[in-house]
Structure formats: C-alpha cells, structure tokens
Amino acid sequence: MSLFIDTHCHLDAPEFAPDRDAMRAAARSAGVAHCVIPAVDRGNWEAVRALAHGWGDSYALGIHPLCTPGAQDADLQALAALLEQHCGDERLVALGEIGLDYFAPGLDSAHQEAMLRAQLRLARRFDLPVLLHVRKSVDRVHKALRELPVAGGIAHAFNGSAQQAQTFIDMGFRLGFGGALTFERARHLRRLAAELPLDALVLETDAPDIPPQWLYRSRAERAAGAPQGRNSPAELPRIARELAALRGIEPEALAQACTRNALAALPRLAPLLRSAP
C-alpha cells in the first residue's frame, strides 16, 4: 500500500466532533501515514498541538488571514511566547496557516499584510517553514517573502499562474494540490498539476473543506436537502490517483515523490515518519 502525507488538514474543525478519532483511524487504514494540522487563530493553538501529539501527527501554529479581523498585537505576542515555549517540540513543523486573502469580502488588506509580515518575522526567528494561504493574493505574498525570506514551506491550495508557481519554486516552496484538481471543469488547475515539476508538488486535503468532485454538492442540491460531503484525509489516496492519471505516472511513483517533497518542505517531518509505528 502506498503511504501518504496530508500536508494540510484542519482536523480540529467542529465538523469532525462526532467521530474525530474514528475519522483519523480510517485515514490511517487508507494509507495516510501522517497529517499536518495547521492552526488558524489563538483559540485553537492548543487543540492542534494536542491532536498532533495524541495521534502521532504534526502541527503548525499561526493566525489565518480570515481570522485577522480579531487579531491584534497581543495575539502576536502570545504566538511568539508559545513558539518560544514549544520550539523544541518535534511535532511543531511549521508556522501556519498564514497568508493573504483578497477574495473574502470585508477584510482589511493593510491589517492582513501587517499580520503576515509579523508572522514571517517569527518564522525567521524560530527557523520554521511556513504554510501559506494564498487566495487572489499571490503577487503580494511574493513581495512579502522577498522582503522577509523564510526557510521555504508550502503554498497551500495553489491556483495561480505557471509563472507564479515558478516564483514560489524558486523561493524554495512546494505547492499543495488536493480535491479541487478532481473537477474536470478546473482545466487551468489540472494543467498546472500535470505540467509543473513533479518535485514541486505535495498532497493535501484541507479537510473538512475543498471536497473532491465525488463529495461535492451544488448549491441547488444543498438547497434541496442534500448534505455537502465532508472532506477527510481518507480521500487523499483517491485524489492522488487522479493526480497520477493527469501526469501519466503510476500512483505509487506519485506517492513516493510527494512524500519526498513534503519532507523537503517540512524537514522536521522526517524523524517523525522514521519513528512512526
């Protein structure tokens, strides 16, 4: 069986409350050997850490751009203190989820950018890679990274241009691909997934969000009472098979390459996988 790393899944989300442990066990049985659980704000920093330790997974700490309206200097100070406290924790593998979101309405762009830069400084201080949220904001994120370069990381749910992808690659980043590539209408994304260098790609689900095509329900279907399918790490092997088919390679070769890429993007993962049961 191929082994997979889900490099981005929000397993502390309330959608998993009814069956969180069973969900993670099902993913492990499907071949998902490891999950990286990013935080989104001060309210879930301890939760992601506890889950990672409980399951033998890993975690990241940060403030998500969608959570920046409620975040102030005190939250940055608390984040710095927690990173200082846990900098020796082998399961703390990145700073994230951080970034910029120019798609969601009502967000203060200047405040988002100030929070991103402050967290990039923390990543530099603690020598951590970053998990980046980049929605309608790739060029602005690139600008921040040029001013405050960090130890690489992952551009999560990447959906920019080929040129923007190459800029991330040149900066030492890998690009996260997940359920969105399973939609035939996502022609641009599928072309990127097929044509970008294999050593630039990592796998992710963003669970419980970004469901693959086989779980997706349209707005009309949901209005008629059909529940939206809940994404989970157990979907990762099937997503990987879709990506392997797009690239014309064997699923096992894709799994091995994406695992190598994840270990390169997040170097603290390697000893965790070696010590896994």
Binding-site positions for a divalent metal cation read 8, 10, 97, 133, 156, 206
* 32 close to 236: Cβ distance less than 8 angstroms: yes
* 205 close to 242: Cβ distance less than 8 angstroms: no
Instruction: Classify burial at 132, counting beta carbons within 10 Å of its beta carbon; exposed 0-12, middle 13-18, buried 19 or more.
Output: buried
Instruction: Classify burial at 107, counting beta carbons within 10 Å of its beta carbon; exposed 0-12, middle 13-18, buried 19 or more.
Output: middle
Binding site listing: 8, 10, 97, 133, 156, 206
> What is the rounded distance in angstroms from the CA atom of residue 53 to the CA atom of residue 204?
20
- Read off the amino acid at residue 179: G
> What is the rounded distance in angstroms from the CA atom of residue 96 to the CA atom of residue 131?
5
